[in-house]
Amino acid sequence: MNPKAYIVVLEGDPLIRPLLERWLAEAGFEVTDPAGAEVRKPVLVIADAPDPQSAEALIGSLRGYAAPVLLLSARFRRGLAGSAEAARRLGVERVLPKPFTRDELLSAVREALKDLS
């Protein structure tokens, strides 16, 4: 993966966002906010969906980035089958239940980007 690949992170929690930024930077990505995506096309969008049941507007707005979407939520159930089904139903590449580890995040990012490499 390009060490300067941009990832847009839409996470409102002031404790979680810096952690995501650090983990992604350590993995070789550059993290930007939505305004930074106007300068360069992101390879991935990571967004928090507090309520996936009513996340249609959020997901629709993310389509403007023309990049795969990894959706985070504390409301997603654990387990690969449940996550894959939720991603399919929501129309995103991957979903990741909160809380998650660094390894789980980076694995989900790799999976979301697997068609780009």
pLDDT single digits (tens) 51-96: 877 788 888 888 888 899 999 988 776 665 556 777 788 888 888 8
SS3 category, 84:
helix
Contacts of 22 (CB under 8 A, 6+ apart): none
Report pTM: 0.86
Output the six-digit token pair for 81. 């089958």
Most confident of 33-37, 54-58, 106-110: 106-110
Output the six-digit token pair for 28. 């070789």
**Which residues pair with residue 54 across a beta bridge?**
none
What CATH code is assigned to 5-113?
3.40.50.2300
Per-residue pLDDT, 36: 58
Above 80 in pLDDT, residue 11? yes
- Using a pLDDT cut of 70, give the percent of the chain over it: 84
Output the six-digit token pair for 23. 């983990």
> Tokens 């300067």 map to which residue?
4
